[in-house]
Amino acid sequence: MAAPMKWKRLVFSTYTPALSWVFTRLTDRFFRTHDRRRGSAVLLLAPLLAEADSAPLASSRPPGFTGVEGLLSRFHWMANHVPAFRVPGGHIHILHSPDEFYQAMKARIKTAKSRVVMASLYLGTGPLEQDLVDCMEEALELSQEDHAPDLKVSFLLDYTRGSRGKHNSRTMLLPLLQHFPKQMRVSLYHTPDLRGLLRLLVPERFNETIGVQHIKAYLFDNSLIISGANLSDSYFTNRQDRYVLLEDCGEVADFFAELVGAVGDVSLQLQPDDSVHMMEGMVHPYKGNLSCGLTGNRADFSASAQKRIMEVVNTARVRQSMLETECSEVPDSDEMVPNDTWIFPLVQMKPLGIYLDEQITKQLLIEAGCDSIVYLTSGYFNLTRTYMQIVLGAAADYRILMASPEVNGFFGAKGVAGAIPEAYVHLARQFYNKVCQLGQQSRVHLHEYHRPDWTFHAKGLWYYVGGRDHPCLTLIGSPNFGYRSVHRDLEAQIAIVTENEELQMQLQQEQEVLYQSSTQVSNSTFNQPDRHVKFIVRLSPKMDIQNLGLPDSGFLRIYIVTPVVPSTQILVTQPSVELECPDHSMNLAIPVLSGTGCSADFSCTGSDLHEPSVANIWSLLRLFFLRAVRILLFPPFDC
C-alpha cells in the first residue's frame, strides 16, 4: 500500500513551484479563517456528487389493503419516525389558484383571535403584500380594542433574502413591530454556513445560494395552509404553485406553530429600530456566544438548533403515539366525524443534522411497486442523484412535471440569471437521455408545463396505488427534490394519506389540471430552436478524474458546502473515491481547496494512489477555473 500523502502535494506539484506559490497565496488570502482547527464555511470547488445513502427506514408493505385501516397498515411506518395526526378528510381543502391562496390568507388574518404564524422565504414589497400587512394591522388593532390583546403575530423569514435591498421584508414589518411590540415577533433565520470571510465576500445577490429558510406554512388560529408559495405578488397572481388548507385541525396547527417557533428561537430577532440580536442563551449562527463558553464554530450552532427543533418533533411524535393508543381502546361512535385521513409532517434541515423528509421520501419512492403510478412535479427540475437512481430503477410508473423555459421564474431575466432556464433544459435533456439509454421511456415520462404569461413553481407528488383511479397519498410543501432542498435549506412538507373519497377527488383534480397544461417531452422537444443551450451553459458539471492521479472514481461537481473536519480521511478504493467522516455523515467530497487553504491536513491512503504528473496538475487547474466560472455564472438559485 502506498504511503499516505498530503492533498496539497497532490494539488500543488513540486514540478510547478511558481504556480504552487501563486495558488498558495491566493487560497491563503481568500479562504483563510479565524478558526483553522475547526473549519468554517468556504467555497469547496470540487466535492464529489455521489451521495451516501442513509440507512433505509424500516417499513412493512402488505400485499393489499382496503379502507383507512388498510392504508394505515401500508403507510403507518412513517409514524415511527415523525408525528402522525389523524384528522377528518372533510376538513382538508385543495386551493387551486394564486388568488384563492391570497384571499384565503387575508380572510383568515382578519378573523384570527389567538395567533397568526407566517413562515416564508421572504415577504415582498408590492401593494398586494402591503395589503396583507394592513390586514394584520387591522386584526391587531381590533384585538387591542377588545382590551384583551390575545392575538399574537409571528413571522419567520430568511435573513439574507429578507434583508436584500433598502426596501425589503424587514422594512415592511417594522411598523407592526413598532406599534405592537408585545404582540409581534419577526425572526430572521441565518444559515450557519454563511460565516467568516465568505459572509464578507459573497455579494448580496448571491448569498442566499449558501442556504435559506425555505419553509412555507401559514397558520391562523387552528387552521393552516401548507404551500410552496412565498409571500410575494407573483405568488398571488400568476405564479402557479400548490396549496392545501387544513381547516380546524388544531393538533396539526399546534405542531407547525411550535416548529416555526423553534426555528424562530434559533434565529435573529428583528427589533423596532431594525437591528437584530439573538435571544438570551441562544448560540449566534455565525458569531457564537462567548459569554456562554461557546465559540463561533458552526457545530455549536447546529447542535443547539438541532436539539431545540427535534424536541418539538419528538415530543409531538410520542404524544400522538400515546393518543392513538388511547383512541384505539375507545369504540367509535356513529355520530363522530370519521378521522379517515393521516397527516405526517416531514422536516428536512440537513445543515442542522435533520433529514426526516429525505428518509421518508426515499422510502416512499422505493416502495412504489409495479401497481403504482407516481406523479412528481418540481418547479426546478434537478433531482438529487439518489432520487434519480430510485426513479430510474423503480418498478412504478413515473410522470414527472417540470417547467418549460418560458414558465421558469428566471425566463427573460437580465444578466447571467437569464441563462438559468437554459441550465434546467440541459439538466432535463441529460435525464431524458438517461431514460432512453435504459429503455425506460414507457415507464418514465417527462412533461413540460406551458401557460402564457405565467410561471411555474409547483412541487410535490401524487401517489396512485393498486390500480386506483384516485391518489391516496400526496406530498405537498416546500421541497423541490433537488440538491438544495436536501442539503442546504430548511424545508417542511406534509404527507397526506387519505381514504376520504372527496379529498381523493380533489387531489386528482389538482393533479389533472396541472398536467393538462403540459406536453410530453420527446427527442424533438430538445431539437426546437428555443431549447438551444449555449456552450458556456453546457460546460459539463461532470469530469472523469482518472487523469488526476486517482483511480476511476466517477464524477465531480461544484457546490458551495461546509468543509469536512480535519480528522476526515479520504479512502481511495476501486472503483470509487469514498470520504469517511468520523460521524459517518453524508456528502462525499474531495477537498481541493479546503477551509484552511493549502495547509489543510487531509491525508489519503490507497494502493492505487500515485504521484500526479505535470499534465494531471494542469488538468486539475483547468477544472478549477472552469468550475469557478460555472458556479459564479450559474448559482443554484431557488425561490
Q: Does residue 514 surpass a pLDDT of 90?
A: yes
SS3 for 305? helix
Res 535: pLDDT:
66
CB under 8 Å to 393, separation ≥6 — which residues?
Answer: none
Assess whether the region 55-80+341-540 and the region 88-279 belong to the same CATH fold. Answer: yes
CB under 8 Å to 1, separation ≥6 — which residues?
Answer: 605, 606, 607
Q: pLDDT by residue (tens digit) across 449-493?
A: 999 999 999 999 999 998 789 999 999 999 999 999 999 999 999
Residue 6 annotated to the active site: no
Q: pLDDT by residue (tens digit) across 149-176?
A: 789 999 999 999 999 999 999 999 999 9
Other Cβ atoms within 10 Å of 311 Cβ, number: 12
CB-neighbour burial class of residue 564 (10 A; exposed 0-12, middle 13-18, buried 19+)? buried
DSSP states along 157-222: EEHHHHT-SSSSHHHHHHHHHHH-TTTEEEEEE--TTS-HHHHHHS-TTTGGGG--B---EEEETT
User: What whole-number distance in Å separates Cα of residue 344 and Cα of residue 83?
Assistant: 6
User: What whole-number distance in Å separates Cα of residue 242 and Cα of residue 330?
Assistant: 37
CATH of domain 88-279: 3.30.870.10
Residue 216 annotated to the active site: yes
User: What whole-number distance in Å separates Cα of residue 509 and Cα of residue 214?
Assistant: 27
Residue 530 annotated to the active site: no
DSSP states along 509-531: HHHHHHHHTEEE--HHHHTSGGG
Taking a C-beta distance cutoff of 8 angstroms, is the pair 170, 186 a contact?
Answer: yes
Res 181: pLDDT:
95
Lowest-confidence region among 396-400, 597-601, 614-618: 597-601
Q: pLDDT by residue (tens digit) across 553-581?
A: 233 333 323 333 333 333 333 333 333 33
The residue extents of the domains of the chain are 2-49+542-633, 55-80+341-540, 88-279
User: What whole-number distance in Å separates Cα of residue 172 and Cα of residue 133?
Assistant: 8
Q: Nearest to residue 193, comparing CAs of 226, 158, 163? A: 158
The pLDDT-based confidence of 295 (bands split at 50, 70, 90) is low
- Which range of 259-268, 592-601, 607-616 scores highest in mean pLDDT? It is 259-268
Res 590: pLDDT:
33
Among residues 158, 193, 221, 489, which one is catalytic? 221
Res 309: pLDDT:
98
Res 408: pLDDT:
82
Res 58: pLDDT:
54
Among residues 8, 216, 426, 470, which one is catalytic? 216
The pLDDT-based confidence of 53 (bands split at 50, 70, 90) is very low
Q: pLDDT by residue (tens digit) across 184-210?
A: 999 999 999 999 888 888 888 788 889
The pLDDT-based confidence of 593 (bands split at 50, 70, 90) is very low
In this structure, which amino acid lies at residue 552?
A: D
User: What whole-number distance in Å separates Cα of residue 46 and Cα of residue 43?
Assistant: 9
| Segment (H or E) for 424 | helix 420-437
Res 326: pLDDT:
77
Res 359: pLDDT:
97
Res 338: pLDDT:
75
The pLDDT-based confidence of 607 (bands split at 50, 70, 90) is very low
Among residues 91, 190, 214, 470, which one is catalytic? 214
Q: What is the separation, in whole angstroms, between the first and last Cα of the chain?
A: 49
Q: pLDDT by residue (tens digit) across 116-156?
A: 999 999 999 999 999 999 999 999 999 998 766 789 999 99
Percent of the chain with pLDDT over 90: 56
CB-neighbour burial class of residue 88 (10 A; exposed 0-12, middle 13-18, buried 19+)? middle
User: What whole-number distance in Å separates Cα of residue 474 and Cα of residue 328?
Assistant: 25
Q: Does residue 582 surpass a pLDDT of 70?
A: no
Q: What is the mean pLDDT of residues 508-532?
A: 91
Q: Nearest to residue 52, comparing CAs of 347, 358, 356? A: 358
User: What whole-number distance in Å separates Cα of residue 586 and Cα of residue 350?
Assistant: 10
CATH of domain 55-80+341-540: 3.30.870.10
